[in-house]
């Protein structure tokens, strides 16, 4: 039998080395790290047989490490080291699934005894077979379509995290299902009868966002005619979904960080902090780690949020899910729109299965909806997928060569024609995809592509693209 890998988490080097010296040998292989964040990073890369963590550490404490372990690798036993034997923390630790706790100071024998006990308990649990079968797909996942192994991993992660209150950071490109994921966490959590409150952090100005989140007391600023309950309070006991967190200003980030550390909120203009109990789920389609490295997002807040990461794979990386998604959306929209459509023409099907979907599932959904509306027969054809026309043009610019130029003038003229046409096709793809990614919101599309809104609009006009015909909701 191989050695059991043990991860020791403690901010004090003496303790880390002490434990390592006692345990390392024939039976165990010991790795150490100095903070909760680092431990979580390791846990995402490697499976351990046992975790030993100090309770009191700056930044992320042992209880948080414990919760994260339970979400990431739920069957690993965790031993908590407490500074002094306190019944409260011991109870709290056991409630959160710690196998054992050990109080400082301890002898090598103490430690070995606890380690053996924790490991034997874990083995007993596995024997008893009272663990969740990972292959069983949980209830309440009817909204999710797709059985690829990438999505199975997501479903499992959702189930595990739903059982805890560990902060979750959902990342993924636009349209990959971040909001769907947040709702699924709520639906599968013990908090499901408590509120699910979603806040789009990109849609509100800084001061408004703060008063939305934290609330304010009457008269705390000009215009605060009435007291307002913050959404943290509204979500109390339930799940608070902070969508597009990358858009929070640096100063609001600092306030958010404090709330997460203290689990208390003070309304703007208020003096009395109030305790809150929420499961925070955040989402971003920008990479917060890169933003943290660049200094545009607070690194400490990133760590606080990223306790349990859920990464949604882009649709082009799980192409096997496309056929079932097509069927699903066809059914949905034929029923909704009340048309009888039997299926999709083979060339359309093969296009849809191979397209790269910069706007992911949402883009596929919009394409099918549009096609169902436009379809004249009972089969979705090529011309029902408007977006496709552009692609045909770019892929077959040879069709533009309808004759062979006979002199230099004609050659020049035809070259210009082909070039203009190719550029227009490229621009059209660019504009449409930017719009698709941003749910046909012109302001957002312009911002994301770095083009001034009026210029973006005149490009749309030139290319004959209008929002109205594409966005029916
Ligand atoms: N796996 C899936 N199965 C079925 N529908 C899905 C799936 N993923 C996403 N969708 C649908 O795609 C649309 C977009 O999903 P959602 O709003 O959750 O994406 P998002 O990641 O939050 O996008 P954005 O970053 O643009 O806000 C929704 O209509 C959702 O129902
Ligand atoms: Mg979203």
Tens-digit pLDDT profile for residues 74-91 = 778 899 988 765 667 767
Residue 6 backbone zone (phi > 0: left; psi -120 to 50: alpha; other: beta): beta
Q: For a substitution probing ligand 1, which of 182, 362, 436 has the most ligand atoms within 8 Å of its CB?
A: 362
Q: Is the CB of 172 under 6 A from ligand 1?
A: yes
**Ligand 1 centroid to 446 CA: how many Å?**
21
Confidence band (pLDDT; 50, 70, 90) for 322?
very high
Q: Is residue 12 within a helix (H) or strand (E), and if so which, with residue range? A: none
DSSP state of 470: T
CATH 3.40.50.2020 holds for 149-313: no
CA distances to 297, 332, 343 from 336, rounded to whole Å, are 42, 6, 16
The ligand with the least distance to the CA atom of 180 is 1
At residue 324, what are phi and psi to the nearest 5 degrees?
-70, -30
Residues that place a CB less than 5 A from ion ligand 2: 178-179
**Ligand 1 centroid to 173 CA: how many Å?**
10
Range with lowest mean pLDDT among 339-343, 398-402, 403-407: 398-402
Q: Is residue 405 within a helix (H) or strand (E), and if so which, with residue range? A: none
**Ligand 2 centroid to 181 CA: how many Å?**
10
Confidence band (pLDDT; 50, 70, 90) for 41?
confident
Q: Is the CB of 313 under 6 A from ligand 1?
A: no
Q: Is the CB of 89 under 6 A from ligand 1?
A: no
Burial of 194 (0-12, 13-18, 19+ CB in 10 A): middle
The arithmetic mean of pLDDT across residues 19-33, rounded, is: 93
How many other CB atoms sit within 10 Å of the CB of residue 273? 14
pLDDT tens track for 370-390:
899 888 888 888 888 765 444
**Ligand 2 centroid to 362 CA: how many Å?**
10
Domain 316-384: give its CATH code.
Answer: 1.10.8.60
Q: Which CATH homologous superfamily contains domain 4-128?
A: Response regulator (3.40.50.2300)
Residues in a beta bridge with 379: 343
Residue 16 has pLDDT above 80, yes or no: yes
**For helices 322-337 and 360-374, what crossing angle results, to 10°?**
40
Cα–Cα distance measured from residue 115 to residue 121, given in angstroms and rounded to the nearest whole number:
10
List the residue whose alpha carbon is closest to atom 16 of ligand 1: 177
Question: 137-173 b/e with 16+ CB inside 10 Å = b?
Answer: eeebbeebbbebebbeebbbbbbbbbbbbbbbbbbbb
**Ligand 2 centroid to 88 CA: how many Å?**
39
Per-residue model confidence (pLDDT) at position 170 = 97
Residue 69 has pLDDT above 50, yes or no: yes
Residue 256 has pLDDT above 90, yes or no: yes
The arithmetic mean of pLDDT across residues 49-57, rounded, is: 91
List the residue whose alpha carbon is closest to atom 26 of ligand 1: 174
Cα–Cα distance measured from residue 361 to residue 174, given in angstroms and rounded to the nearest whole number:
9
Q: Is the CB of 321 under 6 A from ligand 1?
A: no
Note the Cα 184 to chain centre separation in Å: 12
Cα–Cα distance measured from residue 255 to residue 278, given in angstroms and rounded to the nearest whole number:
16
The arithmetic mean of pLDDT across residues 332-343, rounded, is: 88
3-state SS assignment for residue 20: helix
Per-residue model confidence (pLDDT) at position 279 = 95
Residue 134: HSE in the Cβ half-sphere, 13 Å Cα cutoff: 11
How many other CB atoms sit within 10 Å of the CB of residue 303? 23
Residue 428 has pLDDT above 90, yes or no: no
Q: Is the CB of 145 under 6 A from ligand 1?
A: yes
Cα–Cα distance measured from residue 305 to residue 303, given in angstroms and rounded to the nearest whole number:
5
Range with lowest mean pLDDT among 71-75, 232-236, 246-250, 355-359: 71-75
Place of tokens 């008893």: 128
Q: Is the CB of 427 under 6 A from ligand 1?
A: no
**Ligand 2 centroid to 179 CA: how many Å?**
5
The ligand with the least distance to the CA atom of 285 is 1
Burial of 205 (0-12, 13-18, 19+ CB in 10 A): exposed
Question: 283-296 b/e with 16+ CB inside 10 Å = b?
Answer: bbbeebbebbeeee
Confidence band (pLDDT; 50, 70, 90) for 396?
very low
Confidence band (pLDDT; 50, 70, 90) for 266?
very high
The arithmetic mean of pLDDT across residues 138-159, rounded, is: 82
Q: Which residues contact 201 (CB under 8 A, 6 or more apart)?
A: 209, 242, 243, 244, 245, 247, 248
Do 270 and 232 touch, CB atoms closer than 8 A?
Answer: no
List the residue whose alpha carbon is closest to atom 12 of ligand 1: 362
DSSP state of 313: P
Residue 439 CA, closest ligand 1 atom number: 26
**Ligand 1 centroid to 385 CA: how many Å?**
20
Give percent of the chain with pLDDT exceeding 70.
89
Question: 217-248 b/e with 16+ CB inside 10 Å = b?
Answer: beebeeebeeebebbbbbbbebbbbbbbbbbb
Per-residue model confidence (pLDDT) at position 390 = 44
pLDDT tens track for 178-204:
999 999 999 989 999 999 999 999 888
Per-residue model confidence (pLDDT) at position 171 = 96
Q: Is the CB of 175 under 6 A from ligand 1?
A: yes
Per-residue model confidence (pLDDT) at position 131 = 34
Residue 350 has pLDDT above 60, yes or no: yes
Cα–Cα distance measured from residue 381 to residue 253, given in angstroms and rounded to the nearest whole number:
49
Per-residue model confidence (pLDDT) at position 468 = 64
Confidence band (pLDDT; 50, 70, 90) for 13?
very high
Question: 79-88 b/e with 16+ CB inside 10 Å = b?
Answer: bbbbeeeeee
Hey, which of 13-27, 221-235, 393-407 has the most confident mean pLDDT?
Answer: 13-27
3-state SS assignment for residue 318: coil
Confidence band (pLDDT; 50, 70, 90) for 315?
very high
**Ligand 1 centroid to 320 CA: how many Å?**
17
């Amino acid at each position: 039998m191989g050695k059991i890998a043990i991860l020791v988490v403690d901010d004090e080097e003496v303790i880390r080395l002490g434990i390592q010296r006692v345990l390392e040998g024939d039976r165990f292989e010991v790795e150490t790290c100095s903070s909760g964040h680092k431990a979580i990073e390791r846990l995402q890369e490697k499976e351990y047989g046992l975790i030993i963590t100090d309770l009191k550490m700056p930044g992320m404490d042992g209880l948080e490490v414990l919760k994260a372990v339970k979400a990431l690798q739920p069957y690993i036993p965790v031993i908590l080291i407490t500074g002094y034997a306190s019944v409260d923390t011991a109870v709290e630790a056991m409630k959160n699934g710690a196998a054992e706790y050990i109080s400082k100071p301890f002898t090598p024998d103490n430690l070995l005894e606890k380690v053996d006990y924790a490991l034997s308990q874990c083995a007993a649990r596995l024997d008893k077979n009272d663990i969740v079968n990972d292959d069983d797909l949980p209830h309440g996942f009817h909204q999710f379509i797709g059985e690829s192994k990438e999505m199975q991993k997501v479903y499992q992660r959702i189930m595990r995290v739903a059982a805890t209150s560990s902060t979750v950071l959902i990342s993924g490109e636009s349209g990959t299902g971040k909001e769907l994921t947040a709702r699924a966490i709520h639906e599968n959590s013990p908090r499901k009868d408590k509120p699910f409150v979603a806040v789009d952090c990109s849609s509100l100005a800084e001061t408004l966002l703060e008063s939305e989140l934290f609330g304010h007391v009457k008269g705390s600023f000009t215009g605060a005619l009435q007291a307002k309950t913050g959404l943290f309070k509204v979500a109390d006991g339930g799940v608070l979904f902070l969508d597009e967190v990358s858009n929070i200003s640096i100063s609001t980030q600092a306030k958010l960080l404090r709330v997460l550390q203290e689990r208390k909120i003070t309304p703007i203009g208020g003096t009395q902090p109030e305790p809150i109990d929420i499961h925070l789920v955040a989402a971003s389609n920008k990479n917060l780690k890169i933003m943290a490295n660049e200094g545009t997002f607070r690194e400490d807040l990133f760590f606080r949020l990223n306790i349990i990461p859920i990464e949604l794979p882009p649709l082009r990386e799980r192409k096997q899910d496309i056929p079932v998604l097509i069927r699903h959306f066809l059914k949905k929209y034929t029923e909704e729109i009340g048309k009888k459509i039997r299926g999709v023409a083979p060339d359309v099907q093969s296009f849809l299965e191979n397209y790269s979907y910069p706007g992911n599932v949402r883009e596929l959904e919009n394409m099918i909806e549009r096609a169902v509306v436009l379809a004249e027969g009972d089969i979705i054809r090529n011309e029902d997928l408007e977006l496709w026309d552009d692609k045909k043009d770019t892929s077959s610019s040879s069709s533009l060569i309808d004759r062979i130029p006979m002199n230099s003038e004609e050659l020049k003229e035809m070259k210009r024609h082909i070039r203009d046409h190719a550029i227009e096709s490229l621009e059209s793809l660019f504009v449409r995809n930017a719009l698709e990614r941003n749910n046909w919101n012109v302001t957002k599309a312009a911002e994301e592509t770095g083009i001034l809104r009026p210029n973006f609009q005149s490009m749309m006009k030139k290319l004959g693209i209008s929002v109205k015909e594409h966005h029916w909701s």
